[in-house]
Structure 1
Amino acid sequence: MPILLRPVFSLLVFAGLSWSLTSQTPAPELPTFFSSLSEDELPSVVIETDLRRLIGRKTQEEYQDAQFSLSVRDSLQFSGEIRLKARGNNRKQACFYPPLKLKFDKKDLQKAGLQPSNKIKLVVQCRSSDMNGQLILKEYLLYKLYNLLTPYSYRVQLLQFTYLNNRKKGKKNSESEPQYGFLIEPEEEWERRHEGRILDRERGKVEYFEPAPLLAMSVFQYMAGNTDWYIYNLHNLQMAKVPEFDKLIPLPYDFDYAGLVDSYYAIPHESLPIKDVRDRYYVGETCTPAELDEVRGLFIEKKAEVLATVAGFTYLEESEKKGMINYLEDFYEILENPKRAEAIFCK
């Protein structure tokens, strides 16, 4: 069954090279499952699987069979058999529902007119409650805010999904309440989009990174109130190589421990001088006032768009929007004062 596709436009510029208008236009590249989805829609997903087995054996991260269907405005867009497994570290321990990795059947993707790129990560609610739904929406928003600041970031797709517990024969399948979740752009898709490469490494060093992108990422983490990342063991951080920079750029992920999200299970690391994740603390590298001025300019330029993104997010409750906006405005109050900003980031 065909997937609802989003138009894709590309512009190729070659210095000193002209093309004849009569040249044959190459066939457009097929979309991936992720890129076929529209950010303007909220797809509805049903995952039918042995939920008891998934939750009971989540620490083992074993693939199991499932049935996956996706609809947009009550119109079925994709359906097929998949394999899924639990993934993650802290969340897998703290949450009833673990984050998932989905593995599609390549033949089903090809029949739908999609590339056979068949693995994707799904971030789900920790538990079935409205409060947990708000938490996952706030984490989704943090990915969207980072998208505003740099193209070198993971795109995400919001969706609403339901678990259908595939029980033993003779017993009626049970259905969960609808929950929010989001898909994270697959690594290979990010690499194609940027003509780059995400390194498979377990250790990093400050000197590996381009200073400006590293500082911008570090300031973003401070804005989010997130101390749950680390360069040296690449905790919630990847290194990527793109043509635009000589050195590597940082690629952060997992923001559930951020103060802006304020998950009930999130606590600062014992080595930090803070007791609450909503207390901001800068864990990035120091910088010069000149380096900071450039990054300050970027964040201040994007301030209106950052606040508008939160204010205009339909699915978040008004009280949660207000809390996020107040938290962000506290950050901008610091950033817009050069002396206060230098005292934090250039110490």
Structure 2
Amino acid sequence: MKRLLIALGLSAAATAALAAPPKPLFADDQPIHITIKGPISRFASSEDRKNTFPATITSGTDNLPAQLSPRGITRLRKDTCDFPPMRVDFTGNPPATSIFAGQNRLKLVTHCQSNPGFQQYVLLEYATYRLYNLLSPMSFRVRLAQVDYVEDSGKTGTSRLGFFIEDLGDVAHRNEMKEAQVGARIPVANLNPSDAARFAVFQYMISNLDWAMQAGPEGDACCHNSRLISASAAPPWTTVPYDFDYSGLVDAPYAAPPEGISVSSVKMRRYRGFCRHNAEALKAAADIRAQKAAMMAVFTQIPQLAESTRKKATAFLDRSFNDIATDDAVTKNLLKTCVN
């Protein structure tokens, strides 16, 4: 029944109640406090950033063995981040009593630079995931973490906020769906129209152009900063977005518009949804309008988000609500640049 309701394009409010609960790590929004002990300096300074490093993740009384590996694309480069994003692979099954119960492999978004100001970019990207959670249960849950980094020698290093991102398999499982197995490029006709339209309207609102629903980067699998899930092995596929650091809402200092798109700044909005989904885009915009108060409230719930950052972010997002205030506004401001 749930699969049928999702396929019929019911609102997020209707489908959210039907989604299975997430695993313990993502069942709560309260920040957790963990320690990662290992060769932290070597992890950050690894020449090719392709190595893996043994470490221990401590949470409460749990000491969990793991392997750490740098990850990412832009943030993997040393000229962008002193400290790259991290992939955590647990080398044993965390106990049932652990906050990490049921987890095998996780992405951890880190602070990128030692400059304390970079914490605000982490928090804004975390908030962006939370915004999309309000619109659909077919989205990546996130969990904020205060991470103490400790060297093998026991020397205490830095302590910074980061956040874990739910595994795609778990997103699919709690929605009674599966990860889609696709090639490098897929036809637009294989996308669920309602989900694709919601995806595109949301990306417009946060002013993010760094994504593709149809294909991945050259030489990579589909899709760019999005993943596909479906109720079966066959289409239609739901596209689930991630990586929002290139959005105007986050406004990271290294963010720039993708090549081939004629905007001069990541803060310039441009709609890139498909024209065949215009009717669904109007419905998606109406659903998002109904969530405005809840979406704005997210920014008041983020610990350590500076008041100046909150005001700037909410003002930026509020302007996008003006752009979708009515169906006529959506047609004028968004659909005129839809992609055929």
Match of 1:271 in 2: 260
Q: Quote the offset at 1:346 in angstroms.
A: 2.4
CA separation in 2, counterparts of 1:114 and 1:158? 13
Q: Any unmatched runs of 5+ in structure 2?
A: 3-20, 216-222
Listed one character per residue, the Cα deviations across residues 166-210 of structure 1 (whole Å, up to 9, x for unaligned) are 25xxxxx43233211111111222222112111243323311101
Larger-Rg structure: 1
Match of 1:89 in 2: 73
Q: 2:240 aligns with which of 243, 247, 251?
A: 251
Cα RMSD of the aligned pairs, angstroms, is 2.6
Match of 1:29 in 2: none
Q: Any unmatched runs of 5+ in structure 1?
A: 1-11, 14-31, 71-75, 168-172
Match of 1:318 in 2: 307
Match of 2:131 in 1: 145
Match of 1:304 in 2: 293
Q: 2:319 aligns with which of 317, 330, 345?
A: 330
Greater shift, 302-311 or 99-108, is seen at 99-108
Q: 2:199 aligns with which of 206, 217, 227?
A: 217
Does structure 2 conserve the Cα–Cα contact (< 8 Å) formed by 1:58 and 1:98? Answer: no
Distance change (3 Å), C-alpha of 1:213 and 1:37: closer
Match of 2:30 in 1: 41
Does structure 2 conserve the Cα–Cα contact (< 8 Å) formed by 1:34 and 1:185? Answer: no
CA separation in 1, counterparts of 2:263 and 2:123? 25
CA separation in 2, counterparts of 1:85 and 1:123? 12
Corresponding letter in the other structure for 2:334:
F
Higher RCO (CA 8 Å, separation ≥ 6 residues): 2
Corresponding letter in the other structure for 1:106:
G
CA separation in 2, counterparts of 1:110 and 1:324? 38
Match of 2:170 in 1: 189
Does structure 1 conserve the Cα–Cα contact (< 8 Å) formed by 2:22 and 2:170? Answer: no
Does structure 1 conserve the Cα–Cα contact (< 8 Å) formed by 2:36 and 2:147? Answer: yes
Q: Quote the offset at 1:216 in angstroms.
A: 0.6
Listed one character per residue, the Cα deviations across residues 23-56 of structure 1 (whole Å, up to 9, x for unaligned) are xxxxxxxxx9952465243211111111232123
Distance change (3 Å), C-alpha of 1:316 and 1:293: same
- Which residues in structure 2 correspond to 1:1-347 (within 5 Å)? 35-36=24-25, 39-57=28-46, 59-70=48-59, 76-93=60-77, 94-109=80-95, 112=98, 115=101, 117-167=103-153, 173-201=154-182, 202-233=184-215, 234-242=223-231, 247-287=236-276, 290-347=279-336
Does structure 2 conserve the Cα–Cα contact (< 8 Å) formed by 1:209 and 1:248? Answer: yes
Does structure 2 conserve the Cα–Cα contact (< 8 Å) formed by 1:59 and 1:92? Answer: no
Greater shift, 44-53 or 132-141, is seen at 44-53
Greater shift, 264-273 or 234-243, is seen at 234-243
Q: Quote the offset at 1:104 in angstroms.
A: 1.4
Query: TM-score, normalized by length of structure 1?
Result: 0.81
SS of the counterpart of 1:336?
coil
Distance change (3 Å), C-alpha of 1:267 and 1:188: same
Corresponding letter in the other structure for 1:212:
S
Corresponding letter in the other structure for 1:126:
C
SS of the counterpart of 2:256?
coil
Match of 2:9 in 1: none
SS of the counterpart of 1:130?
coil
Distance change (3 Å), C-alpha of 1:270 and 1:113: closer
Greater shift, 47-56 or 215-224, is seen at 47-56
Q: Quote the offset at 1:122 in angstroms.
A: 0.8
Count of residues in Structure 1 that have an aligned counterpart in Structure 2: 308
Distance change (3 Å), C-alpha of 1:199 and 1:62: farther
Query: TM-score, normalized by length of structure 2?
Result: 0.83
Corresponding letter in the other structure for 1:89:
I
Corresponding letter in the other structure for 1:162:
D
Distance change (3 Å), C-alpha of 1:196 and 1:186: same
Distance change (3 Å), C-alpha of 1:34 and 1:270: same
SS of the counterpart of 1:90?
coil
Listed one character per residue, the Cα deviations across residues 288-335 of structure 1 (whole Å, up to 9, x for unaligned) are 664333112101110111111113333211111101110111001110
